[in-house]
Structure 1
Amino acid sequence: MNEWRPDKLARRLPNLQARTRLQAAIRQWFAEQGFVEVETPILQITPGAEVHLTGFATDWEAPDGEEEQVRWLHSSPEFAMKKLLAGGLSRIFQFARVFRNAEDSALHHPEFTMLEWYRAGAGYETVMEDCAAVLRLTGARELRWEGNACDPGATPERLTVAEAFDRHAGVDLLATIGSAEKLATLSGIAMHSDDTWEDVFFRVMFDKIERKLGMGRPTILCEYPISMAALARAKPGDARVAERFELYVCGVELANAFGELTDPAIQRARLKADMDEKERLYGLRWPVDPDFLAALDHGLPDCSGIALGFDRLVMLSTGSRHIEDVLWLPVR
């Protein structure tokens, strides 16, 4: 509380000044790359497509006396930015304020800043190169978290999810798909009676893999199982995995990227499947944005996109211990 007090603000000020400098450098870099900075609405019909996230809802009171409509604070500007791609823009980025309920820890805050960008006509390997460039823009000698260090100028290691499971958990991941029992047994991870394969997957990731990624140099963890990439296209030549990657630094996930799915029929089916799973797990389902579906029907160009946690990047570049150390004023 009272984070505005002069003594508390003064302690955060060096981090906040670094935040401002980094944001300016990123904006300049994107401008040099021919990107357009956009701003899309925070209020949306749906907060996103994530199964395990909790959203913030509000009521829209129409001035003409019509029935109130539920709107959500978005968890990502993804759907809105893809509409702009369908409208003809080709390179766009945004510093978006986004919202995720029930999140509060050293690395999580209910309101935070997402740096999101999209490239039409480019594969997700190009976005991997973008990530390396953005890390270099920090100007830091090293990125730090919990006593670990990573060189932001080093070429990122590229590691498939299957390779990570083999290296750190001793498991042939793709051979276990669909069998939670097999994955749990081979990885030595405890399993609950109602666990799905994905439940066990995430437990292995948390217990044995994530904290080992991005040590010394960044890690690009790619080719996620297709069931974990509702908005990504399948990898050509191997439909078991998707063109999805996450960027890790010092064991911290910084970004999530896709070679974007553009087929409207497949996208509809995946969104429905995810909402069915959300309802099964949490008794809640979010509506699907019909305008997003209309944009897909109109035609989303071949494209790739990424969402990067800007606050986390500032944390790592300043060696901060808590996300609130890099916020002008935290939510309290």
Structure 2
Amino acid sequence: MERSEQELVRRENLRRIREMGIEPFPAATFPVTHLATDILEQAEFDDENKATNFGEVTLAGRVMAVRVMGKAAFAGLQDSSGRIQIYVSRDDIAPGEDKALYNDLFKKYLDLGDFIGIKGFVFRTRTGEVSVHVQEFTFLGKALRPLPVVKTDEDGNTYDAFSDPEARYRMRYVDLTVNPQYKEIFRKRSRLITAMRSFLDDLGLMEVETPILQPIHGGAAARPFATHHNTLDVPMYLRIANELYLKRLIVAGFDGVYEFAKMFRNEGMDRTHNPEFTAVEFYVAYKDYNWMMDTCEALLEHAVKSVGENGSTRVTVGDNEIDFKGPYRRLTMADAIMEYTGEDINGADEAELRAICQRLHIHVDKTMGRGKLIDEIFGEKVEGHLIQPTFITDYPVEMSPLTKKHRSKEGLVERFELMVNGKEIANAYSELNDPIDQRERFEEQLKLADRGDDESMPMDEDFLRALEYGMPPTAGIGIGIDRLVMLLTGQKSIQEVLFFPQMKPEA
């Protein structure tokens, strides 16, 4: 591979460092005592500008800027928390006659992006910048490729930014190094998941794990990724959902289980869809979808507070301020369609629904059954209007093959979806626990598959066998983590909230 001039210079510097008897990729532990941000935020100084609340400090990180002034230099050291200025004096880090540690290693062979460790004391410069006066210097790792140099002037203007989305997503390791402000997105993601996990633990649920490789791709309407198990000589699928396995555990006698799980759906990629995504699903025995709506409100209010400013439940997304404090509006699917289209779908058969779609200029095809037609109407004409958290309830039975029939409304099921900012965030049911009804629903799905619907659910005989052993009344829900993080961090693209989104092969 042809290397750039800078890459060749760095390899020459690597060779020179080794000639000095210094290992450029040392294996020993380096004992870090402080982070840059801790010092910047907490330092207090006496009249001589020395920190009074910090003694000796040890930091490690990348060198992101160097300004040499003869026998001394200032540099920018960036660790996981942020960047701090360091002051390096030749006679401090090389106190004897041999000044090679400063004159050669620091001044000549140290490149931007290299990892170093320092030990010293905290002081404040004449210009008021909190800094670390280096007394010991250790080389910790050589960067053989140059980082993009992003410059910011005194007025806050940025030059040579590493901002191309494809480059950023493909080389996230570079992106988060030179654009450290994006790290906060992933810190919030982590805090959100921690808060949700804590809430579910306090609810008395048990965290479990279920198979990612499955012999039948059940639990949702989606196309799977297919593979082959060589030893068993059978086709296998990456899971599109973990629902059916979690319900098997309810059959097994657990009162409540949850899983933060990776799902895989062989579908399109856009600003709100990635083929690999994260969801949390939980199932609780002896509950229904009404209980789950209350619980969903409480869970999200708790979780959003964990990442909001000063514990706020309000987030700003574009021009909209969204409040996750309950209670949320509850609206049946038929009422929502009536409200935003003026069309009444109650009791409408497939032909009547096709006529409604034609009036509303919604494109449909012959593979779509009654449920898919209603879903198209809702998605095209209603979804985008639902900005504040809204529970859409009571779906047609054709749209929900795993859901218990409504206790009082013929042709409907006890299901809700939580819509926020025009997108689905959560999907929940009173779970279908009648194995005879469940078999009939699967058979209806097989008929849709015969019509060409490649997202219909297959028959799962083992799941039906589990239901025949008896499952108590159960409420279940799935919440999409990626879309929720998008909302809470104000991101318009799902790629911004994934460390490593799916990308086309690199040319």
TM over 0.5: yes
Write the letter of the residue equivalent to 1:2.
M
Tell me the equivalent position of 2:469: 298
Q: Which of 215, 224, 228 is residue 55 of structure 1 equivalent to?
A: 224
Shift in CA distance, 283/159, structure 1 to aligned 2, threshold 3 Å: closer
Summarize deviations over 1:293-313 as a string: whole Å, max 9, x none.
221111111101011101111
Tell me the equivalent position of 1:20: 190
Measured in 2, the distance between the counterparts of 1:155 and 1:71 equals 42
Measured in 2, the distance between the counterparts of 1:14 and 1:138 equals 15
Contact 1:90 1:120 in 2 (8 A): yes
Summarize deviations over 1:83-140 as a string: whole Å, max 9, x none.
1000000111110111011231111111111110111001111111121122212123
Q: Which of 337, 348, 351 is residue 176 of structure 1 equivalent to?
A: 348
Shift in CA distance, 103/12, structure 1 to aligned 2, threshold 3 Å: farther
Q: Give the total of aligned pairs.
A: 324
Measured in 1, the distance between the counterparts of 2:304 and 2:382 equals 26
Measured in 2, the distance between the counterparts of 1:22 and 1:118 equals 20
Percent identity over the alignment?
A: 31
Shift in CA distance, 272/40, structure 1 to aligned 2, threshold 3 Å: same
Contact 2:371 2:396 in 1 (8 A): no
Higher helix share: 1
Instruction: Work out whether 1:212 is the aligned partner of 2:378.
Output: no
Instruction: Work out whether 1:272 is the aligned partner of 2:447.
Output: no
Instruction: Work out whether 1:74 is the aligned partner of 2:239.
Output: yes
Measured in 2, the distance between the counterparts of 1:324 and 1:284 equals 24
- Name the SS for the 1:116 alignment partner: strand
Shift in CA distance, 312/8, structure 1 to aligned 2, threshold 3 Å: farther
- Could you list the runs of 5+ residues in structure 1 that have no partner in the other structure? none
Shift of 1:45: 1.3
Contact 2:428 2:476 in 1 (8 A): yes
- Could you list the runs of 5+ residues in structure 2 that have no partner in the other structure? 1-169
Q: Which of 21, 34, 40 is residue 210 of structure 2 equivalent to?
A: 40
Measured in 1, the distance between the counterparts of 2:338 and 2:457 equals 36
Aligned pairs for 1:117-196 (under 5 A) are 117-136=282-301, 137-139=303-305, 140=308, 141=312, 142-178=314-350, 179-184=352-357, 188-190=360-362, 194=366, 196=369
Tell me the equivalent position of 1:106: 271
Write the letter of the residue equivalent to 2:244.
F
- Name the SS for the 1:102 alignment partner: coil
Q: Which structure would you say has the larger Rg?
A: 2
Superposition RMSD in Å = 2.1
Measured in 1, the distance between the counterparts of 2:242 and 2:373 equals 29
User: TM (normalized to structure 1)?
Assistant: 0.91
User: TM (normalized to structure 2)?
Assistant: 0.61
- Name the SS for the 1:281 alignment partner: coil
